[in-house]
Structure 1
Amino acid sequence: MTVDATDHRPTILVVDDSPEVLAQLYELLKDRHRVKVATSGDRALRIAAETPQPDLILLDVLMPNMDGYELCRWLKADVATRDIPVLFLTARSDVADESHGLSLGAVDYITKPISPPILLARVRTHLQLKASVDLLRERAAHLEAEIERRGGGTASS
């Protein structure tokens, strides 16, 4: 798949084993975002490691082989993918399920059936938050490099 370097829209990876759900989410998100899809945890891990990485992952819990919880564990354990926000989208609406998903590092938990306005608002919020965090990381790295360039930052009194 060729990525258009001039397309600066955020990339969202949607992971669900249901083609119908993937189609629904693709249609909902495609105008404002680049959308990648995966029907399995293994495929999602490969896509998450590609360049450019997703800016956000929408993840179903109930999937064969590797469920969403296990996939989230893998993503959060890998230094290359741990900072990608994960939002669970699932039919599991029990408080214990929500608590478990959030304890694994997900930033949000949205139950199905999906309300398009709520999903779009939460996606927008989490993408804005990620952009702010990324900017702060870049500025911190720049400042550290500048301090090193200037001799370690030791000041004489």
Structure 2
Amino acid sequence: MAETLNRVLYVDDEPDIQAIVELSLRHVGGLDVRLAESGGQALALLERAILEGWVPQLILLDAVMPGMDGPATLAAIRHHPSLDGIPVAFVTAMTQDSEVAALKALGAVGVIAKPFDPLGLPGNVRDVWGATIRP
């Protein structure tokens, strides 16, 4: 039986987008969602979460954030021994074919386009995560 997606970390510097994603994934999708507003905050949250026994099954990153952007955050995650196996996808307006290819070349498992349909987002997230599961 395939593992069920339950725990997601969402990283975005826009509070309105964070709120929509949290409502969508938590209340529509039934997922346990934690939020961070920057790459640095995400890394600190992940450190604490691991100590508490909460490890996200999927990390969703905004690509464009001040300070540590999404690609830099992904690189930092990949260099952390406890985090490097967690699938990471981007939720971004960077959806040109070349942009998507560049994000995937960094190691992203998928890209979800902004703007997104809040009611459809949980299904999109599960589709991206499901594509990472090995039979």
TM over 0.5: yes
- 1:79 aligns with one of 75, 78, 81: 81
RMSD over aligned Cα atoms: 2.1
Larger relative contact order, structure 1 or 2 (CA cutoff 8 Å, min sep 6): 2
> Which residue of the partner structure matches residue 15 of structure 2?
19
Pairs aligned (count): 126
The alpha carbon displacement at 1:9 in A equals 7.1
List per-residue Cα deviations over 1:99-137 (Å, max 9, x = no partner). 11101111101111012355322322344456x55xx8x
Aligned residue runs from structure 1 range 30-49, under 5 A = 30-31=26-27, 32-49=30-47
Pick the structure with greater CA Rg.
1
TM-score (ref. length: structure 2): 0.82
C-alpha contact (below 8 Å) 1:9/1:34 kept by paired residues: no
C-alpha contact (below 8 Å) 1:85/1:126 kept by paired residues: no
SS at match of 2:8: strand
List per-residue Cα deviations over 1:70-118 (Å, max 9, x = no partner). 1111112222111111110111122222111101111101111012355
Supply the distance in 1 between the matched residues of 2:56 and 2:22 (Cα, whole angstroms).
14
C-alpha contact (below 8 Å) 1:61/1:68 kept by paired residues: yes
C-alpha contact (below 8 Å) 2:89/2:112 kept by paired residues: yes
Return closer, same or farther for 1:97/1:83 CA change in 2, 3 Å cut-off.
same
Q: Which amino acid aligns with 1:73?
A: A
- 1:28 aligns with one of 24, 27, 32: 24
Return closer, same or farther for 1:84/1:47 CA change in 2, 3 Å cut-off.
same
> Which residue of the partner structure matches residue 119 of structure 1?
121
Q: Which has the higher helix share?
A: 1
List per-residue Cα deviations over 1:14-42 (Å, max 9, x = no partner). 10000000000000011311110000101
TM-score (ref. length: structure 1): 0.71
C-alpha contact (below 8 Å) 2:61/2:90 kept by paired residues: yes
Supply the distance in 2 between the matched residues of 1:125 and 1:88 (Cα, whole angstroms).
13
Q: Which amino acid aligns with 1:33?
A: L
Supply the distance in 1 between the matched residues of 2:129 and 2:113 (Cα, whole angstroms).
19
